[in-house]
Structure 1
Amino acid sequence: MSHVITLVQKKRSQLQERISELGAQVIAALHQSVECLRTQDQALAQQISAGNRLINHQRRLLEQECLVALAAFKPAGEDLRTIGACLEMASELERIGDYAADIARIIARDVKMPLPEGAVAAIIALANKSIAMLEQTLAGFLSHADESSLRAAVANEPQVDRDEDTLTAQILEWMRTEPEFVEHGTYLLWIAHNYERAADRATNIAERAVFAVAGHTPDLD
């Protein structure tokens, strides 16, 4: 007997696609923020800030679509869990987009002194780990990956925390030995923490993706 796709299942798939689209926008913003940090490009910083308004708008539309689906279809089981997960993921993704915009706003302060290459390279490495976690998590959610795959997607989260701790210690030491760089060191600490928070929220998204598939919420942090 052929498998019949119900209306609620179609809607569930559509919402997962919407999450994927919003996630792609957020990931693009994160990549832009990395380039902005690397080059201190003021025009790119403004572009990221403008793009964040679109991300915020898309989040609101997606939330409304989720709420309408809940009211109209009264889903149950995996359909209900997935639509509820989409609702929460939209919020998580919007916050990650805010982190990219915050980094852009820091760069847009028109920092006149070159940032230390070593610190910038370390932050970029941390950022790339966070971005990879988010990419793999969203791909897993869209493909209905199992719990072990979603756990693997965010397995680097503890390493991101350790990287931030190491980087923070290095920046603080640099600020102590060269007081004229205190302001710039503060900027770098903010930027690094934003990327670490992006990894935390990618982990939250993975937890919701596991809930959608398996019906329980693991602690992946």
Structure 2
Amino acid sequence: MISTSSPSVPDVSAGPAANVTALPQVTGPSGPQPGAVPPPPAGLPVVPWPHVPRGWFWLGCHGGAGVSMLAQTVPGGVDANRAWPALPGGHPARVVLVARSSVHGLTAAQQAARQWAAGAVPGAVLLGLVVVADAPGRLPRPLRDLHRLVTGGVPRTWTVPWWEAWRCGTGADAPLPKPLAVLGVDLPRLIGDHGVPV
């Protein structure tokens, strides 16, 4: 797991993620919390989903969060189209929130996490939050503080650094930054070989 204690730009050199043996550690709540204060009513909608995917849902907390790029880069996830998926037959929907590291993005992630914590999205199994860098370099202190606050409200956090290849549309030809490679290992292991969260 990528540490949330220092949300500066991680090492982006390509490296094998196959040597990751431990599942990412739970660093926040792993389920809805009785008494959690729900966000304002204008949260993300809950929308019926027609089928049960084998993988997980990428849930963009706001427009431009980076879901499309993650879906292209880390196989196994489905774009939830900015809505909490409600699966048929009461199946659990495994969800990964996605947000940029800006004030707007982190605040949107906080609102989505509050929806989940308050039990307002029954059937959602929140695997964690991916914070995608909104600019190169280290986060300013106010954003670091907000990042720390928001990530404390979700089970796990992965931090994806600024990757120029995404900006230039050359990601398919560039070596993956290590945090993306790790994410591609962590998420399939979290849902297990049979699609059962562990």
Q: Name the TM-score, length of structure 1 as normaliser.
A: 0.28
| Structure with more of its chain in strand, by fraction | 2
Return the index of the structure with the highest Cα Rg: 1
Comparing both structures, which one devotes a greater share of its residues to helix? 1
TM-score with structure 2 setting the length = 0.30
